Homo-oligomer: A and B are copies of this chain.
């Protein structure tokens, strides 16, 4: 390994001052064409690379954006990560992705790291665990702009990209009701999180509007896994409180439900109607095809990035109390 070459090294070799080298490298018009070419040639030949730590230390603009998601290993988030990374690349930003693992503590440490590294901005969807939002106030205090998407801190004044969870769950529930299902259960996450609370409200509102007697919201605070889905469904069937339809907030849980229906020869959609949030690669392959609510990942990514870019460019350009709401889509397939 050769030692890293700096502008001073170049200056010494070329018998000019390092500030001239600096100017030449940044194509400052005030530098002699010949000198500039000399510098650029030398830099290229010796593979000079700017030390961004030094640049950023001086306070010059920074092109690094941090993205925090609860779980990269989840198609909704990995889609968004993938799309955001591409958007950022096109616009000359670099995205670093951080994973909170649904843990408040990790999220908090990530925020510290972001502050310490002086990121230009942050795009974040919070952990299920996160009830305290002090760490985002800290971000505010350090002047680092941020945008929430999907799961948000409602008590923080920052732009938010939300999904119409209330409406879509209401529609989904009503759709099941119209199909004749009368005992509809709703499996969802902790209602401390806006996403799950809105879905919960949508479900309840539809049930009440149609004056159904059966009302069964099942709140799952553990990690959404297929195994857990199996257990929840088994318990439901074994109870005296069996539903004839389910709306499920997680594709993982839904897979567990499907597994159990097969094992128990429960027929979909005859014995059980089913609508799930989230889509998977195999959605066209699984039989019967499962009706699903699909979120507009592309739109979420685009909007979030656009908002953050505005904030980075001009912190006052945005009315940050105006949330953006994007529409998810209810796709009726064969399961209801």
A residues in contact (CB < 8 Å) with B: 1-2, 4, 47, 49-54, 56-57, 64, 71-75, 78-79, 81-82, 85-86, 89, 94-99, 101, 106, 109-110, 112-113, 115-118, 138, 140-143, 226, 251-252, 255, 258-259, 262, 280-282, 284-287
Contact = CB atoms under 8 A, between A and B. Distances in A.
Given A49-B116, A51-B118, A85-B99, A140 B1 contact: yes
Contacts of A226: 281, 284
A287 to B, nearest CB: 7
Contact of A285 (B47, B53, B95, B259): B259
A54 B58 CA distance: 9
Given A89-B106, A255-B285, A282-B285, 18 more contacts: A49-B116, A49-B142, A51-B118, A52-B116, A53-B57, A54-B57, A72-B72, A72-B81, A73-B79, A81-B99, A86-B99, A86-B101, A89-B101, A94-B113, A96-B96, A255-B281, A280-B280, A286-B286
A241 B88 CA distance: 45
Name which of A85, A97, A285 has the most chain B CB atoms within 10 A of its CB.
Answer: A285
A82 B53 contact: no
A81 B73 contact: yes
A278 to B, nearest CB: 10
